[in-house]
Structure 1
Amino acid sequence: MSWILLIIGGLFEIAFASCLGKAKETSGLESTYWIIGFLVSLAISMTLLYKATQVLPIGTAYAVWTGVGAVGTVLVGIFVFKEPATFWRIFFISTLIMSIIGLKFVSSH
């Protein structure tokens, strides 16, 4: 269950980073809504990380949480914000995914 909470928390990390990107592109009331989305996503993400660390080691949990967020945010950048999908970006994102999976397998929980 802790792993599921951690993954969901990582998904909310993607959401808060994406909200920041959208807030930067907008102005006025629309920007305010994106900032509210950022704050809500941030609170949920941090709460789920906290819950997961009640069972999982903090180092593993934090690495996986940030890894999920990093991979997801890069993918959102590529598919939503039209950032370049160069060979090296895909290569290093792939190594990050393999590292996240590796941490799950070597964790005793």
Structure 2
Amino acid sequence: MNKQWLSIFIAAFFEVGWVIGLKHANSVVEWIGTAIAIFISFYLLIKAGESLPVGTVYAVFVGLGTAGTVLADSLLFGEPWKLAKIASIAVLLAGVIGLKLVTGEPRDKGVKE
């Protein structure tokens, strides 16, 4: 896995953090943490989009963020699991993995297409 793909995974991790923060932040410190997570998440997303196809980057980012948020809701906040929810996340993750597999390596910045 190269640096750009790793940054998408880290960005998705921070996306889960800021989504949880938007719902549950109650203090100034929690809101500041949420704002920092938003900044880091979108910074890494933008940087990855400079080298990889933007549509793929965004789809993978949103897919991982969605799956991570659902998982966090269940593990941290007691949201019940349902078979339909698990199946939907499995399909979503299969799509994310498929996009990763069919997307080529990053383009060289000096090469014009």
Q: Same fold (TM over 0.5)?
A: yes
Describe how 1:6-21 pairs up with structure 2 within 5 A: 6-21=8-23
| 1:21 CA displacement | 2.4
Q: Residues 1-109 of structure 1 correspond to what in structure 2 (within 5 A)?
A: 1-23=3-25, 26=26, 31-109=27-105
Greater fraction of residues in helix: 1
Runs of 4+ in 1 over 2 A off after TM superposition: none
TM-score (normalizing by structure 2): 0.87
Gaps of 5+ in 2: 106-113
CA–CA distance in structure 1, aligned partners of residues 17 and 81 of structure 2: 20
- Taking only aligned residues, the RMSD between alpha carbons, in angstroms, comes to 0.9
Per-residue CA deviation, residues 19-75 of structure 1 (Å, 9 max, x unaligned), is 12221xx4xxxx222211110000000000011001100000000011111000000
- Determine if contact 1:60/1:107 at 8 Å carries over to the other structure: yes
State the TM-score, normalizing by the size of structure 1: 0.90
Count of aligned pairs = 103
Structure (1 or 2) with the larger CA radius of gyration: 2
